[in-house]
Structure 1
Amino acid sequence: MEFVDTMDLENERVLKLIFPDGVPDNLRGNPELDNYLGKLGTYKVDQLKKEQTRLADETKTILEQTQDLAISNYKTFITTAENSRSIFNEFQKTEEQVGTLIGKLPEFSGKCEQFLKDSAELNEQRRLNSITLQKNSQLLEILELPQLMERCIREGRYEEALELAAYVQKLGQHQGHISVVNSIVRAVEALWHTMLVQLVAQLRSDLQLPKCLQIVGYLRRMQAFGDNELKLKFLQARDSWLTSCLGAIPTADAQQHLTKTIEITRINLFNIITQYRAIFPEEESAGKAQGSSLRPLQGVSCNGDRLFQAWLHNKINAFLETLEKDLHRGVGSIETVLGQCMYFGLSFSRVGADFRALMAPIFVGVVQSKFEASIEQVNEHFEQELERFTLINKVTLHSRKQVDPTSLSANENESFAPPETLLDFYPLAALCNGYLNALNELRLCAPLALATDVTRCLQQSLQLVAQRVLAFYRQEQQAFTGNERENFVKLCSCLAYDLVPYVQRCIHGIFPPQSLTVHLGISLLQLEQQQLTYLQQARILEPLKHLLPTKVLVQSQPAQEPALEAKPVLNLPVAAEG
């Protein structure tokens, strides 16, 4: 034992000498190291000196042998390494798969149990399928209900479609928990809405009363709308169709557009009213209570009744707007349009919608504006002619008769022929012709309501003429010769004593005082006292009174004057100036 301990101590000392920094880890516990140290302890000094060289040579030899071995057997080494790596990888995969298999075994067991349950359900479903196959014909009829209803709607067989919808509704109430039945109910409901839209769309087309009754009957059976909603839908659909008809009328020619609008509105609107009252007969009592006027809408208590009246008001107002717009655009014959409109309004009195009183202000306004525009052009033309007018070398060809107006015979007083003295003064002749053209155009359609407006317009025009003549005198008087001054006095006399009374006669020819007295319920004396349709000659001649020769102005006797004939008033043959 002491010998062993002594050897260990010596080995440690030798190791410290060989490895001063400590023994490497790869040599610790190596039995060969102890044997080598024991052997090294038996060497002599010379052997120890040669030991390092010997070890180096041996190491070199071993390396060379190893290299030779590796070179001669490299394929074997490579194959061995690859096989080792492959085996190692396979072992790892096997280990992983075994772990995965162990983890999935409970799930696999559960799925097997589920498979057993599913197989039992499949057997039950197979049994049900066998029963279904036996009832195939009955089920096929139920499944084809949506296609059958779609075909009925497409072919317009709405009666059958409604019966199918009612049957499917009952089927859904009893068997709605079945998914197939529920899907059939939903499909039929969608087709039901399609049929509803199609029926409402048919109301937007040209329909006769029987077809309207039939369509509204279907809508009532569908119970998609309440009573007032159904009325509203009907009026909206028919209004859309009427609007499309009116929108298709060409608008280039105002006369044709207005004439066609009157015709289409009268016929189609009357048809719609007839259809509405036939479909909703409860409106008849409300219509009788209202009489022939459209005003008593405030007294209607039922919203449904008021709805129709409001719609009718709207359509009449739309027609009146079109009428006013086209009249202002200009039509060839106002009297023709007036006759058609009055017939239109009169025909609607049968349905309690006589609106002739609403059209009268429109025609009166249009006629008035047209007449005023014509007089405005006459005034402008007179100013232009007066600017070019001259009294140099002016020879009077027509002398005025110095006769007391009170001694005029009835035929002379009632004559509508223009005074020939106007031919001596071209501006006055042109002015008279302009007045006659405007009055002739007015005479074709002369509302009595315009009597005072026409008189006022002519009064203002004649006052303007007198002022322009006075301005002409002030501008030219300094250069007047004696002859020119005499001719100017004749011009003023012609204006005062010939043109103004003649215009007065023409006014009473278009608006006979007898007609006005009957219309207003007054006498001729009161008519004259109120100066209705009478020109105020004193105001007209006020600017020229200091230039006129002394003469008594006497109003013509309008009560004795007949109305103008249907033929145009004779225009003066205006002579060229100079």
Structure 2
Amino acid sequence: MSFPDKMDLENERVLKLIFPHGVPSNLRGNPELDYYLAKLGTCKVDQLKKEQTRLGDETKRILDQTQELAISNYKTFITTAENSRSIFNEFQKAEDQVDTLINKLPTLSEKCEQFLKDSAELTEQRRLNSTTLHKNAQLLEILELPQLMERCIREDRYEEALELASYVQRLGQHQGHLIPVVHSIVRSVEALWHTMLVQLVAQLRMDLQLPKCLQIVGYLRRMQAFSDNELKLKFLQARDAWLTTCLEAVPQTDAQQHLTKTIEITRINLFNIITQYRAIFPDDESAKSVSLKPLQGVSCNGDRLFQAWLHNKINGFLSTLETDLERGVNSIETVLGQCMYFGLSFSRVGADFRGLIAPIFVRIVCNKFESTIAQLNANFEQELEKFTLINKVTLHSRKPLDTTAMPSSEQKTYAPPETLLDFYPLAALCNGYLNALNELRLCAPFAVATDVTNCLQQSLQFVAQRVLAFYRQEQQAFTGNERETFVKLCSCFAYDLVPYVQRCIHGVFPPQSITVNLGISLLQLEQQQLTFLQQHQILEPLKHLLPTKVLIPLTSALSAEATSAPIATEG
């Protein structure tokens, strides 16, 4: 064991002797206690015995000195105590304030950080404002782009408007997602772009010449708003709307004027539209040859779109033509000539539709003639009811029909027989036939020759039936003179009116012209009874009332006459 460890053990023993109940807490670790214990270890026994007394005296002396010091310096002690109390209170306050400060430091730190951020934003905004002020002129130019484009559109300066739209589109692609103002400008310009698109399409609905059409469609192509087929469709729709507007502006009070004006407007404007379409879309091969057959299942593509549109326009014209002809026109031959010129002019664009016009005129002419003959039949029936044979004197004697002995000058004339003047119903009927045939002669297509002949055949058969009914109703009251006059009426009808009507039919439809068109001989024409009245069927009801004589067949009687008859105008 080392020497210091031995000393510590002894000190512990001494402490237990001095403090049997344990060392007070205020003395533990005190270096002076160790020093005092070491000093006691050097004392002798006598010294140790006196040590308690010495300590008591020393304690008393120290207490006396302390009391004396306290009495002599009590003010200082009081002041020191007050100062200590005051210092203690101040330290308490300082501690509370420090605690409060510590609690508020996080908020202060957050406020400081927020202040730093706000300061940075303000600094950035100030920098942006300075930059904006520095580049004010350039910014004004960008901000005024929508107003500038609107002005260009309003003044029809589409070239500049397209350049502005292209520039704004590029600007939006680069900066639109970053700068709200640029995005707003892009949206405004897009709205004006749509306005320009509508305005360009609307201009196609106006009266335009080819250069203007090319320019407008060029703008539409550059805008790339429509595909090629859609652009064709839009062009045709717009031009169709303009053509429809022009046609709707034609007055419809007079059918002749309406039809004439419609033909003129349709021919000129439709031809212009076709020319414009071919110039604008030169690669469309379908526009070079137009089929006028009905289109079924046509899809909206470029190769059939133009055909379908033109087919629809021609059908619309044919519908208008048929409607106005049915309403009644003053001069069918004039309208026919205009229509044929219309169809012929369209042959230059591969759309000759004269073959569709002819059936309409044939049907209208035939219907009109049949309507006229039906009215004549009704008028004849009324006149026959008012006709009387009492005191009737015939002033004209009829001659037998002998075409072989008839001079050529008489064959060429178409004056009605004078014997008809003695019988007013037959004279009025003959005048009606002549008016109907004269009106037909101005526009007499060979296609109606058979229908006209059949209509007159039926009319003459109706007349024969009415005359027979008149005889059955009045025969019992006939006197000898009246019966003779009635026989003359029947003879005038059979031997004068019927042959004369046959001659008029051949005057309108010359047999030689018909044979040339049909490619047959005159004999075959007679055998087929084309344009020839069937005399026996007409006179069948009156054969027992006619005087006994040989009837000369109309076919043989009129064969020679047909060679000298004037040629009717072919419609």
The interval holding the TM-score normalised by the smaller chain is: 0.7 to 0.9
| Partner Cα separation in structure 1 for residue 424 and residue 526 of structure 2 | 33
How high is the TM-score relative to the length of structure 2? 0.76
Change (3 A) 1:524 1:406: same
Q: Does 1:545 align with 2:543?
A: yes
**How far 1:415 sits from its partner (Å)?**
3.5
Q: Deviations over 1:236-258 (max 9, x none)?
A: 11111111111111111111111
3-state SS of the aligned residue for 2:389?
coil
Q: Is the 8 A contact 1:514 1:559 kept in 2?
A: no
Q: Does 1:210 align with 2:208?
A: no
**How far 1:345 sits from its partner (Å)?**
0.8
Task: Indicate the residue corresponding to 2:122 in structure 1.
Answer: 122
Task: Indicate the residue corresponding to 2:482 in structure 1.
Answer: 484
**How far 1:124 sits from its partner (Å)?**
2.5
| Partner Cα separation in structure 1 for residue 131 and residue 148 of structure 2 | 25
| Matched ranges for 1:213-362 at <5 A | 213-283=214-284, 285-288=285-288, 290=289, 294-295=292-293, 303-362=301-360
**How far 1:557 sits from its partner (Å)?**
2.0
Q: Is the 8 A contact 2:401 2:495 kept in 1?
A: no
| Partner Cα separation in structure 1 for residue 568 and residue 295 of structure 2 | 43
Change (3 A) 1:129 1:498: same
Change (3 A) 1:476 1:180: same
Deviating more after overlay: 365-374 vs 203-212: 365-374
3-state SS of the aligned residue for 2:132?
helix
Q: Deviations over 1:535-554 (max 9, x none)?
A: 11111111111111122222
Q: Is the 8 A contact 1:505 1:558 kept in 2?
A: no
| Partner Cα separation in structure 1 for residue 542 and residue 164 of structure 2 | 94
| Partner Cα separation in structure 2 for residue 527 and residue 543 of structure 1 | 27
Identity of aligned residues (%): 81
Deviating more after overlay: 175-184 vs 521-530: 175-184
Deviating more after overlay: 418-427 vs 227-236: 418-427
Determine which structure has more spread, i.e. the larger CA radius of gyration: 2
Q: Is the 8 A contact 2:205 2:239 kept in 1?
A: yes
| Partner Cα separation in structure 1 for residue 166 and residue 160 of structure 2 | 10
Q: Is the 8 A contact 2:498 2:535 kept in 1?
A: yes
3-state SS of the aligned residue for 2:208?
coil
Unaligned stretches of 5+ in structure 2? 1-103
Change (3 A) 1:333 1:110: farther
- Give 1:389's match in structure 2, choosing from 381, 387, 390: 387
Task: Indicate the residue corresponding to 1:462 in structure 2.
Answer: 460
3-state SS of the aligned residue for 1:549?
coil
Q: Is the 8 A contact 1:149 1:188 kept in 2?
A: yes
3-state SS of the aligned residue for 1:264?
helix
Q: Is the 8 A contact 1:286 1:300 kept in 2?
A: no
RMSD: 2.6
| Partner Cα separation in structure 1 for residue 408 and residue 448 of structure 2 | 27
**How far 1:109 sits from its partner (Å)?**
8.7
Change (3 A) 1:296 1:466: closer
Change (3 A) 1:488 1:145: same
Query: What is the identity, as a one-letter code, of the residue corresponding to 1:442?
Result: L
Q: Is the 8 A contact 1:512 1:558 kept in 2?
A: no
Query: What is the identity, as a one-letter code, of the residue corresponding to 1:449?
Result: A
3-state SS of the aligned residue for 2:282?
coil
| Partner Cα separation in structure 1 for residue 300 and residue 237 of structure 2 | 19
Task: Indicate the residue corresponding to 2:503 in structure 1.
Answer: 505
**How far 1:293 sits from its partner (Å)?**
5.5
Q: Deviations over 1:382-425 (max 9, x none)?
A: 11110011111111211122465554444444441111111111
How high is the TM-score relative to the length of structure 1? 0.75
Q: Deviations over 1:69-111 (max 9, x none)?
A: xxxxxxxxxxxxxxxxxxxxxxxxxxxxxxxxxxxx9xx9999
Q: Is the 8 A contact 1:259 1:337 kept in 2?
A: yes
Q: Is the 8 A contact 2:508 2:568 kept in 1?
A: no
| Matched ranges for 1:147-226 at <5 A | 147-177=147-177, 178-226=179-227
Task: Indicate the residue corresponding to 1:528 in structure 2.
Answer: 526
Q: Deviations over 1:328-378 (max 9, x none)?
A: 111111111111111111111111111111111111111111111111111
Change (3 A) 1:180 1:516: same
| Partner Cα separation in structure 2 for residue 544 and residue 138 of structure 1 | 108
Q: Is the 8 A contact 2:229 2:300 kept in 1?
A: no
Q: Deviations over 1:153-207 (max 9, x none)?
A: 1111111111111111111111122211111111111111111111111111111
3-state SS of the aligned residue for 1:541?
helix
Query: What is the identity, as a one-letter code, of the residue corresponding to 1:261?
Result: T
Unaligned stretches of 5+ in structure 1? 1-104, 568-578
| Partner Cα separation in structure 2 for residue 474 and residue 329 of structure 1 | 41
Q: Is the 8 A contact 2:287 2:307 kept in 1?
A: no
Q: Is the 8 A contact 2:201 2:238 kept in 1?
A: yes
Q: Is the 8 A contact 1:398 1:420 kept in 2?
A: yes
Change (3 A) 1:481 1:109: farther
**How far 1:127 sits from its partner (Å)?**
2.4
